[in-house]
Structure 1
Amino acid sequence: MSIGNNMKVKSIKVFGKGEVGLEETSFAVTADETLVRVTRGGICGSDIHYYQHGGIGDFSLCHPMTLGHEVIGRIHQSGQTVAVNPSKACGKCFYCESGNSNQCVNMEFFGSAMRNPHVDGGFSEYLSVSKQQLVPYDDTISDDVMAFSEPLSVAIHAINQAGGVLGKRVLVTGCGPIGCLIIAACQAAGASEIIGTDLSERCRDIALEMGADKVYSPLESLPTEYTADKGYFDVSFEASAAVQAFHGCIDMTRAKGALVLVGMRPGMVDFPLTKCLAKEINIRGTFRFVSEFETAVRWLEKGKVNPLPLLTRVFPFTQIIDALKLAEDKTSAMKVQLSFERRDEKFI
């Protein structure tokens, strides 16, 4: 590895369907950006999709791309620990100027094939990023915890889309990593009651650790009070992307309550329009985050949310295939992380 105007670093590249590996790449460090040595990265469902299918949704790889958008590291020259916001909005379009930068029409988001050329992700030994993408944090907080900054941001934004949860009854359908982080964030934000549902007993158990009051399998009969009198829950978060769960949310969300759609799956079109209209349910989408990224960093730094029940295993980044194989096994894994730590490296 060389560090200078033309850096050479090892990055985790996806080349196509089922093709992922390490590649030495070069990039320039510009004067208006900050050099960050990556220490930890979390594998997201989108990384798994690129590995399994060579794309995600309507977007397929046109050329190799560096994976990863859940990363933390240290500023190279000072050693300051930082969480890296994977969003680089233009700051000039209508959405950016109106405070909705997550909808930026010129967004450059780590590890995304939505643009061509694609935007490389953060699974690399070093990154050169704008100062605005870095949120410093206390270096006594473990990498295990702080690598959850990005997914926790997604959870907090979902809560904000619901209009808050203080004193409210909350339902979360789908207790994977994001669903469980929504549960933890709802508890931190003052929800009065939190119920989770998932087909997996393991996921339900973790949901209880993350703050759910009760959990159920959608295959069992839920309490009749949840559907009586036009519904029980003030706010529902649908995080499974299952049509049946979506219908359940409509039935269990009270009239004039809020339903936030978190999970995404192509072709999910079965929509009970009549029920939604009659109950005047406020249905909202949620997409990434805006200022919630810094909020997530502070919550993790202060211990307001403990994400560690979700952490399954940490692999050296050189073992990316093994890490992806475990991460794609939803019967065994919740969140798999990659360590980029170089114990013998000194700051300059």
Structure 2
Amino acid sequence: MSFSEKEITCNACFVHGEGDIHFEPHQVKLAEGEILVKVTCGGICGSDVHYYQHGRAGMSVLHHPMIIGHEFVGKVCEVNSDDERFCVGQPVVVNPSRPCNECPECLTGHQNLCQSMRFMGSAQFNPHVNGGFSEYVAVKPEQCLPYSEQVSPKVMAFSEPLSVAIHAVNVAGQLTGKKVLVIGAGPIGCLILAAAKCAGASIVVASDLSQRCRELASQMGASTVFDPTDDSQVSYYQNNRGYFDVVFEASGASAAIASTVDFTHPNGVIVQIGMGASPMTWPVSSMLAKEISFKGSFRFVHEFATSVQWLEQGRVDPTPLISAEFSPDQVQEALITAGNKEISSKVLINFE
């Protein structure tokens, strides 16, 4: 069966540069072999905020207007391929990863490390890869996973960040019966603590400077929480060469990263998720003397399917993290709100 290419007119959230974003007309090109998805809901990530605030996210700099958003779900509205797994009206979660599947990393099952990754809503390459904050998007069938109509799109919009959390837990190794610390109780940190509990951790403690974030961590299932400026609590967990078997660092703050070694007992594991400043001072000698394993965790691979399943089954409930919701024509207000960490955790854009 042959399929023809077509263009669909809609509106999308284009960031043009620092402080410059608009919900404006867009032409979606649906190629042969692709699926047209009508977007229903999406979550704002820190990288979306950085593109709006600074015209860049890390080393990825805007060179032309780009559609933001890589945490989103929708419904199939056209199948321009012979893939029989999908039908019109079916709710789907979209994986924003587009690895090359040809490089050594991809061929050894580490697609998250692909140097040619075309990640949706990213300015890493020029031309940039448009994201999913659009009324319609065209994606490959392999990017889509169906989910039950009984589950809210607002819940399933957490599939991508929960995938990041589950990958971090997998990087850490076996967690059954272990004592875990999560430093940084933002959306990713809170999802990591929830995933760690699902993976069998006996104790999951969260640390954050913000009382609001500590309260969210408690709602997400933390055994207890503490303020890293409270010397008595810090000393309790750092005494006797460290209390925790595994420490997840999700804040990216230099002081927090440096503190991980003292919290980790000998032969423990530190997993770094937060994108911290570089270079920085780190207690290498203490890490060596305690034979601590330091591991990086970046994005996800097969964990995306696990994330969708866990959200469908209710194993993780992310709804306490939803702090505000906006329509796409309010995207600027949504990004300003999401950028205010005093009041926001996860901000959603509702397209329906």
Q: Distance in 2 between matches of 1:8 and 1:92?
A: 33
1:28 shift after superposition = 1.8
One-letter amino acid of the structure 2 residue matched with residue 21 of structure 1: H
- Residue 28 of structure 2 contacts residue 136 of structure 2 at CA under 8 Å; is this kept in 1? no
1:325 shift after superposition = 1.3
* TM-score, with structure 1 as normaliser: 0.95
One-letter amino acid of the structure 1 residue matched with residue 139 of structure 2: V
The residue that corresponds to 1:202 in the other structure is 212
The residue that corresponds to 1:89 in the other structure is 99
The residue that corresponds to 2:26 in the other structure is 25
One-letter amino acid of the structure 1 residue matched with residue 50 of structure 2: H
The residue that corresponds to 1:327 in the other structure is 338
1:224-303 equivalent positions in 2, closer than 5 A: 224-303=235-314
Find the partner of 2:188 among 178, 184, 189.
178
1:70-81 equivalent positions in 2, closer than 5 A: 70-77=71-78, 78-81=88-91
1:147-162 equivalent positions in 2, closer than 5 A: 147-162=157-172
* TM-score, with structure 2 as normaliser: 0.94
Q: Does 1:317 find its partner at 2:341?
A: no
1:90 shift after superposition = 1.1
Find the partner of 2:150 among 120, 131, 140.
140
Instruction: Structure 2: give runs of 5+ residues left out of the alignment.
Output: 79-87
Q: Distance in 2 between matches of 1:154 and 1:292?
A: 8
1:268 shift after superposition = 4.8
Q: Distance in 2 between matches of 1:219 and 1:227?
A: 13
- Residue 243 of structure 1 contacts residue 268 of structure 1 at CA under 8 Å; is this kept in 2? no
1:26 shift after superposition = 1.2
Aligned length: 339
CA RMSD of aligned residues (A): 1.3
Q: Does 1:65 find its partner at 2:66?
A: yes
Instruction: Structure 1: give runs of 5+ residues left out of the alignment.
Output: 342-348
- Residue 254 of structure 2 contacts residue 277 of structure 2 at CA under 8 Å; is this kept in 1? no
1:59 shift after superposition = 2.1
Q: Distance in 1 between matches of 2:235 and 2:6?
A: 65
- Residue 162 of structure 1 contacts residue 260 of structure 1 at CA under 8 Å; is this kept in 2? yes
Q: Distance in 1 between matches of 2:276 and 2:236?
A: 30
The residue that corresponds to 1:5 in the other structure is 6
Q: Deviations over 1:210-245 (max 9, x none)?
A: 010110001102164422332111100011111221
Q: Distance in 2 between matches of 1:285 and 1:15?
A: 32
- Residue 236 of structure 1 contacts residue 260 of structure 1 at CA under 8 Å; is this kept in 2? yes
Q: Does 1:111 find its partner at 2:121?
A: yes
Q: Distance in 1 between matches of 2:339 and 2:239?
A: 38
The residue that corresponds to 2:46 in the other structure is 45
**Percentage of matched positions with identical amino acids:** 48
One-letter amino acid of the structure 2 residue matched with residue 41 of structure 1: G
Find the partner of 2:350 among 327, 339, 345.
339
SS at match of 2:329: helix
1:267 shift after superposition = 2.8
SS at match of 2:182: strand
- Residue 250 of structure 2 contacts residue 273 of structure 2 at CA under 8 Å; is this kept in 1? yes
The residue that corresponds to 2:130 in the other structure is 120
One-letter amino acid of the structure 1 residue matched with residue 97 of structure 2: S
- Residue 90 of structure 1 contacts residue 106 of structure 1 at CA under 8 Å; is this kept in 2? yes
